[in-house]
Every structure is written in structure tokens, then in C-alpha cells.
Homo-oligomer: A and B are copies of this chain.
């Protein structure tokens, strides 16, 4: 009907074929189950928003990355850049949503970034947020959710690094710079510590943020504070003794630590880290990130914080909020590297062969019966040569093949073949499902 089109995908975009998508889907299911256990509820919002809903929220650099266009009706629209601003819109728009509103959302977002290793123009965000309370219990709950998610995914060796933006604003005094813009610039520089190292950050503070060498040095001293959590908190309190706001931040940090521990987060997973800023302009209090101890180089796999001023952009009323974002792709890649991902094929476990087309109805009935017994089953679309069908079964990821040829049909039986070991036996029909279950219980070859 038309000329052949070269099949291709846009740069910076990805197809998730089944071998990637299946473990990813299982991971999302696990994560959402944890969210629900904490009383979070699902929300979905459109991928497209009016441009003015998104503009002015992310900072100028981010705004350049919006997918923005004029729709058929002449509206100025954008693909969403994150899930947080749409959440803010929803909370402002539906004022009768019960508060605190605890929601989760797993959905794609778009950023026209320069594509690179691990950086894509479309990616899935996986967020929980608690809107409408300034209780630090909500901040601590986010930390508990972080811990519970990692635990549910089978990870034990990780660290949740916490800080508070109010503490960082005490840095303003150290830096001699209190204007919002200058402060945000300094925080963004500090945020590069992990990737760039202390030497570079110090240089950036001088060259890019315009600090004197002496003030840059004091900031480096501050973000380099070491010791256990208690020592860090005390030392910071000393260094920032003249900032009331910083003292409040330190006190908040202490409360969040205590409550998270009361909620069962092991103390050795909680680490006060005064260098953590998180890039986004909108955080106002608690900020945290999550590092895999065996793979610290991948960066934070789950991060979040409190952003008490964002939603009021829409409402004009106070609407405090705190949330977490799970870095799904990064986390999945890391878990794969750590061998924590169930690599089980997504395909059906059982492949029912078709001896000849005359036996197809019979094979179809047997497959239906095995599905009723709870198994995942597919039936060969071809018939004839069994060896070829076994190979096909294997290629499709099945672990067991079932044969129902003329002999088996004559005496109400079927042959069950373990595709891993090659072993096979012929059994009465009633015994087929249990025999398959026994094979599937064994680890895959």
C-alpha cells in the first residue's frame, strides 16, 4: 500500500523487549505493593499538559528540555517533565481530595536531553508523595518506604543518605551569599561532589559561584564533616551556631532519623550526609538519596525530599509535601549487575506440542486444562516434527514440553519433557500438571 519504511526509533528513546520488560514489570509490581502497604493510592495524569502548568517550575536549564508544541487546536502544550508538577496541579484542581493525599504514580516523562549513557529522552518515573502535612512523620515514612522497597527487592547492603535543605541554607552564611539564585547555584555545585570529587567542587565554587577561596574552603570543611551520625549533627550545629534556620534543619534531621528507626529502618542504613543537596530547586527541608554499597558508582537509586512551596504556585495556599522517586532503570540495571533480578523467562513455562493437525483440538484442550491448574502454557502453532517443536519451545523460553501423540491419546496420558535435563516420562492426564509443577520448582538449568 505504501513504500517500505525503514523501521527505526527516535534517538534517546528505547524499546523494552520482553527480556528487559518482564523483570522490569515484576520490579514495578513489587515496588507498588510496598507503596500500597503504606497506604499510598494510585493516580494517573495525562502525558500532555498546558505549557503554563509546567513553565516556571524547574529552572531555566530544565525548561529548555521540555517537549513543547502547538496542538491541532492551537494550544501551547508540553509533554510532562516529571510527575511532581502534575501532582501539584491535581491537588490544586481537586480541592476535595482527602488530605493528606498519599499517591503513587509510575509513568513516563520526557526531557529533550542530549542522549548519553544511561540518559534518555523518555523514561519512567516511579514516585510516591504525601501532600498536605508538614509532619516530619511523613518525611520519616518516606525513608521507611525507601528501606522497605529495597528490602522487598532483595537488597540489604545499601545506605540512605540524609540531609536537610534548611541546614544547607546555613551555608549561605558561610558563603556570604543569601540570595536564592546564588544559593541554588552553590547547592547544585555541591551536588556534584560524588561525581566530580572535592577538588573540582572547590574550584567550581570559586569560578562558577564566585566565592572567595576562604569561603569556598569553609564550605568544603562543612560538607566534609565526618564521624557517626551523632558526631556529624553536633559538629554541624557548632559550625552553624549563628543560623537559626540551620539549627531547625538539624533538629528536623534528628527527628526523621529517630522516627525512621522507630519504624524499623536499621540504624546502620541511615547516614547523615551534609553534602547532599539534590539538584532540584524546589526542595525545602529533608532531602535524601540511596546508595548501593556494592555499586556506589551508579549513584542514587532512590531519592526524595520535602518541597513545601511547589504546590502553592497553583493554589496560593500553603500545601506542604514530601516524596520519593525510584530510579527504576538505574535500580534495575544495578540489581541485574548484583544478580538480584529473577531472570526467569517471561514466556510461558509450558509448551504443548502438536503431533499432527488432527490432534490440534486435543492439544488445545490439554493446554486449557493446564492453565486452569495455574500454569502458563502455549500451544505450538505448527505441527509435525517433535524435535523441531522442542527447539522452538526452548527458544521461546519454555521449561517443559508436553507431547500428546496417538499413543498418549489412546490411553489418556501425555508425555512430559523437562527441557532443561531432557528427561521425559509418560503420565496419566491427571498427573501431568503436578509433574510439571515439580519440574518448575527446581531451579532453571
List residues of chain A with CB under 8 Å of any chain B CB: 1-2, 4-11, 13-18, 21-22, 25, 29, 36-39, 41-50, 52-53, 56, 67, 69-73, 75, 77, 79, 88-90, 92-94, 97-98, 100, 102-103, 108, 110, 112, 122, 130, 133, 135, 137-138, 140-141, 144, 148, 258-259, 262-264, 309, 313-316, 346-348, 354, 360-362, 364-365, 367-369, 371-372, 375-379, 381-382, 395-396, 398
Given contact pairs A15-B94, A381-B137, A21 touches B8 in the complex (Cβ within 8 A)? no
CA distance A268 to B354 in the complex (A): 27
Given contact pairs A46-B15, A112-B72, A364 touches B37 in the complex (Cβ within 8 A)? no
Q: Which residues of B contact A372 (CB under 8 A)?
A: 264
The answer on a CB contact under 8 Å between A46 and B5 is: no
CA distance A42 to B46 in the complex (A): 22
CA distance A21 to B377 in the complex (A): 30
CA distance A254 to B292 in the complex (A): 58
Minimum CB–CB distance for A347 against chain B, Å: 6
The answer on a CB contact under 8 Å between A92 and B7 is: yes
CA distance A277 to B108 in the complex (A): 35
Q: Which residues of B contact A45 (CB under 8 A)?
A: 9, 15-16
Given contact pairs A313-B1, A396-B39, A360 touches B13 in the complex (Cβ within 8 A)? no
Copies of this protein in the complex: 2
The answer on a CB contact under 8 Å between A48 and B1 is: no
CA distance A396 to B48 in the complex (A): 29
Contact among B10, B47, B50, B378 for A108, CB-based, below 8 A: B47
The answer on a CB contact under 8 Å between B367 and A263 is: yes
Q: Which residues of B contact A148 (CB under 8 A)?
A: 371
The answer on a CB contact under 8 Å between A10 and B361 is: no
Minimum CB–CB distance for A313 against chain B, Å: 6
Minimum CB–CB distance for A439 against chain B, Å: 17
Given contact pairs A44-B21, A45-B15, A141 touches B8 in the complex (Cβ within 8 A)? no
The answer on a CB contact under 8 Å between B263 and A381 is: no
Contact among B1, B36, B93 for A346, CB-based, below 8 A: B36
CA distance A396 to B40 in the complex (A): 10
The answer on a CB contact under 8 Å between A52 and B140 is: no
Given contact pairs A17-B43, A112-B71, A361 touches B50 in the complex (Cβ within 8 A)? no
The answer on a CB contact under 8 Å between B98 and A39 is: no
The answer on a CB contact under 8 Å between B9 and A347 is: no
Q: Which residues of B contact A18 (CB under 8 A)?
A: 41-43, 103
The answer on a CB contact under 8 Å between A93 and B7 is: yes
| 9 further contact pairs, Cβ within 8 A, besides A18-B42, A37-B377 | A4-B313, A5-B313, A6-B314, A10-B49, A16-B43, A16-B45, A41-B347, A140-B364, A141-B379
Most chain B beta carbons < 10 A, residue from A5, A92, A100, A372: A5
Minimum CB–CB distance for A407 against chain B, Å: 20
